[in-house]
């Protein structure tokens, strides 16, 4: 298990970065749709985009936190 700690740490960081990128893109896209900056789309689609990208952010961030928790569990088991 010890040899997988580096992979878990790296993947946790990558997934957290992806989560924040999804949130940023969702906020910019949703807000620009909501305020009518992008023509041809209804304004309510902005709210839908915000909800969808917020879900993706929470999902990816939760996966990264679970990987962090798994790292801590492995370290605690190795101490004993």
pLDDT digits (tens, 9 = 90+) for 13-42: 999 999 999 999 999 999 998 888 888 888
Domain hosting residue 20, numbered range = 2-79
Count of domains forming the chain: 1
How does residue 65 score in pLDDT terms, banded at 50, 70 and 90? very high
The average confidence (pLDDT) of the chain is: 89
Rounded Cα distance, 22 and 15, in Å: 10
Percentage of the chain exceeding pLDDT 90: 52
Residue 23: predicted pLDDT: 95
């Amino acid at each position: 298990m010890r040899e997988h700690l580096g992979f878990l740490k790296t993947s946790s960081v990558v997934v957290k970065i992806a989560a924040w990128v999804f949130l940023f893109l969702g906020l910019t896209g949703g807000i620009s749709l909501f305020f009518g900056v992008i023509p041809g789309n209804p304004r309510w689609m902005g709210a839908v985009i915000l909800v969808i990208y917020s879900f993706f952010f929470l999902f990816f961030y939760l996966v990264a936190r679970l990987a962090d928790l798994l790292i801590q569990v492995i370290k605690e088991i190795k101490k004993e």
